[in-house]
Chain A
Amino acid sequence: MNHRAVPIERGETRLAWLLVAPAVAVILLVSLVPIAVTAWEALHAHDLRLPWLGRPFIGAGNFMEAASDPRFGAALVHTVAFALISVPLELMLGLALAVMMHSAVRGRAFIRVSALLPWAIPTVVAALLWRFMFEAQTGILAASFQTFGLVGPAFDWFVHPLAAWVPIIAADVWKTTPFVAILLLAGLQTIDPALGEAARIDGASPAREFLTITLPLLAPALVVAAAFRMLDALRLFDLAYVITGGGPGTATEPLSLYAFIALMQRLRFGYGSALSVIVFLLTFAFALVWVRALGRSLSGARS
């Protein structure tokens, strides 16, 4: 057998590359080459409204402009703050939902469907729906807040620079908590129930059992869910675009939206590309850290 093993393996490797090639070619063509082009474009002054100026190379000029652009600084703060507020909320609520789904005896299918629906509906639909519910005076949530005296009469959520974030964050939490819950539920199902029983026999309270057994064993799933959500939150676009349009003024404008406006409305492709590169670097730096951590945990699991 040994003398045949080598050619088979060589043939297998060749086949593997053949199978992988089309997909890799597509990814190179539609993702990697464009990223490189964006980076190159970011080093030029390129205004589609002023084609006669051409496309002169200006080095880091666009990035220098961003560094001194207060609107960029604000957008960066908005993006990071949004991620840091909405993701922990989603993790906490998702954990609660997961525990509930895990312990449900009856109606599992119903629970699963009702959890999946918000996750599956288009983000634009979710955004419009939450805009509608927060619409001044007439929106059911805006009206409820008034009825309970939490806000003054005639309070307009979309005029106040901080309040305008509430519908955005609420929509994001509503839409993505089920996703977190499903990831965490998968994690919960891998935990051996015998561990919990043993703890209960030893007289541990449910709270203690949760803190000392469930939570530590769930940590890997929590890390994965947190990473997925962070990466998604850092590229926030749809919700802000639809719910507030970045307003009032630019009070709710995240980086992706500012880049989009620079590109598609002002047609400043050089500067817009530089902003896009910054969004890319921001998420990529985060992803790199995470993939390394994930790789470590996977190789740990294999050995």
Chain B
Amino acid sequence: MKARPEAVVPAAAGALLLAASLFPIYWMVASSLTPESRLFESRPLLPTAVTFEHYRALFDERDFLVPIRNSLLVSGLTTIVAVPVAALCAYALARLRMRGKGLLLAFVLAVSMFPQISIVPPLYLILRELRLLNTYPGLVLPYLTFSMPLAIWLLTGFFRQLPRDLEEAAMLDGATRMRTLRDVVLPLAAPGVASTAILTFLYCWNEFLFALSFTLGPDRYTVPVAIMLFRGRYQVPWGEVLAATVLATIPVALLVLACQRRIVAGLTVGATKG
């Protein structure tokens, strides 16, 4: 059977798009394993010599574990604070009768669109006043500005997709709203809550501007800030920078591999809204 042209063209275009998508990541990994001396000469696409020198330098000379720990702590804390509070709010928005629901949702969406730079000046002044610059709470609080609306928006979408029958049955049996929420809705919504938590964590892990503005020294730098500041004034230690970018990508890649369906669900519920 001959392949039809209308099937071959999209397949070829698709393969090209996928290659364009993946090649930079491959190149990042391959380059991070290339000896510094070979990094700046033209070299074949497949590595000929492999070294872990850059990774060793990252931990022995730069203490890269500190920013990794900072990023994990700040992203984890923000997720733990934002998702439960957002879940309560989202349940009310998705299910309960109240006035101004549409307005409140529009408000949440609008807040999630705030350009980060527009709240940097007051947050800086407030955090300085409270002596929270260069602390973990001094990052978790600013991170709530984007993670809270994001989580509310996603969870409202997920709660709306749940079938109402079970909740109604539970309430007819005399369960209160809160009990219904705890015993019926939350277990059913667990996948949605997981998607929300994953996306919230990812956004925090990737955040740059707030971390750049509100941390003052290497003891509190998050991963993106630490990598960025590796760059010397005139020379970039590319080997180490690339090794660091690979390490910054590993948790993200693991999440994507393990939870691809959840992430897609989160992204689409956020955009199309149940």
Query: Which one of A16, A27, A116, A263 lies within 8 Å of B111 (CB-CB)?
Result: A27
Residue on B with the closest CB to A189?
B268
Task: Assess whether B268 is in contact with A182, with CB atoms less than 8 Å apart.
Answer: yes
B186 contacts across to A, CB distance below 8 A: none
Whether, in the assembled complex, B60 has its beta carbon less than 8 Å from a beta carbon of chain A, the answer is no
Residue on A with the closest CB to B28?
A129
* A20, A225, A272, A279: most-surrounded residue (chain B CB, <10 A): A20
Whether, in the assembled complex, A231 has its beta carbon less than 8 Å from a beta carbon of chain B, the answer is yes
> Closest CB-CB distance, A96 to chain B, in whole Å?
6
The complex places the Cα of A178 from the Cα of B116 at a distance, in Å, of: 23
> Closest CB-CB distance, B87 to chain A, in whole Å?
9
Task: Assess whether A15 is in contact with B14, with CB atoms less than 8 Å apart.
Answer: no
A41 contacts across to B, CB distance below 8 A: 121-122, 125
Task: Assess whether B115 is in contact with A113, with CB atoms less than 8 Å apart.
Answer: no
Whether, in the assembled complex, A244 has its beta carbon less than 8 Å from a beta carbon of chain B, the answer is no
> Closest CB-CB distance, A275 to chain B, in whole Å?
8
The complex places the Cα of A187 from the Cα of B172 at a distance, in Å, of: 37
Whether, in the assembled complex, B227 has its beta carbon less than 8 Å from a beta carbon of chain A, the answer is yes
Task: Assess whether A112 is in contact with B260, with CB atoms less than 8 Å apart.
Answer: yes
Whether, in the assembled complex, A276 has its beta carbon less than 8 Å from a beta carbon of chain B, the answer is yes
Segment with Cβ contacts to A, from B19-27, B50-58, B188-196 = B19-27
Interface size on A (CB < 8 Å)?
97
Task: Assess whether A19 is in contact with B242, with CB atoms less than 8 Å apart.
Answer: no
A225 contacts across to B, CB distance below 8 A: 271
* A38, A117, A124, A272: most-surrounded residue (chain B CB, <10 A): A124
B268 contacts across to A, CB distance below 8 A: 182-183, 185-186
Whether, in the assembled complex, B166 has its beta carbon less than 8 Å from a beta carbon of chain A, the answer is no
B241 contacts across to A, CB distance below 8 A: 128, 132
A174 with B115: in contact, given A19-B92, A27-B149, A124-B227 (CB under 8 Å)? no
Whether, in the assembled complex, A103 has its beta carbon less than 8 Å from a beta carbon of chain B, the answer is yes
> Closest CB-CB distance, A247 to chain B, in whole Å?
13
Whether, in the assembled complex, A7 has its beta carbon less than 8 Å from a beta carbon of chain B, the answer is no
A259 contacts across to B, CB distance below 8 A: 117, 120
Whether, in the assembled complex, A89 has its beta carbon less than 8 Å from a beta carbon of chain B, the answer is no
Task: Assess whether A277 is in contact with B118, with CB atoms less than 8 Å apart.
Answer: yes
A287 with B267: in contact, given A20-B104, A122-B223, A235-B117 (CB under 8 Å)? no
The complex places the Cα of A234 from the Cα of B116 at a distance, in Å, of: 11
Task: Assess whether B96 is in contact with A269, with CB atoms less than 8 Å apart.
Answer: no
Whether, in the assembled complex, A238 has its beta carbon less than 8 Å from a beta carbon of chain B, the answer is yes
Residue on B with the closest CB to A298?
B273
A218 contacts across to B, CB distance below 8 A: none
A263 contacts across to B, CB distance below 8 A: 120-121, 124, 213
Whether, in the assembled complex, A295 has its beta carbon less than 8 Å from a beta carbon of chain B, the answer is yes
Contact mask A222-234 → B, CB, 8 Å, 1/0? 0011001001001
The complex places the Cα of A295 from the Cα of B106 at a distance, in Å, of: 8
Query: Which one of A15, A20, A34 lies within 8 Å of B93 (CB-CB)?
Result: A20
B213 contacts across to A, CB distance below 8 A: 260, 263-264
Whether, in the assembled complex, B110 has its beta carbon less than 8 Å from a beta carbon of chain A, the answer is yes
Q: Which residues of A contact B (CB under 8 A)?
A: 9, 12-13, 15-17, 19-20, 22-24, 26-27, 30-35, 37-38, 41, 93, 96-97, 99-101, 103-104, 109, 111-118, 120-126, 128-130, 132-133, 135, 137-138, 140, 143, 174, 177-179, 182-183, 185-187, 206, 221, 224-225, 228, 231, 234-235, 237-238, 241-242, 255-256, 259-260, 263-264, 269, 272-273, 276-277, 279-280, 283-284, 287-288, 291, 295, 298
Closest 4 CB pairs of A and B: A100-B14, A23-B89, A37-B122, A235-B115
- Knowing that A35-B119, A272-B121 touch, tell me 9 more A-B residue pairs with CB under 8 angstroms: A12-B98, A13-B97, A24-B89, A30-B119, A34-B119, A34-B122, A113-B256, A121-B25, A128-B227
The 16 listed contacts between A and B (C-beta, < 8 Å) are: A13-B96, A22-B85, A27-B149, A34-B122, A34-B123, A34-B145, A100-B14, A111-B18, A120-B255, A124-B225, A129-B242, A177-B21, A179-B267, A182-B267, A234-B115, A283-B115
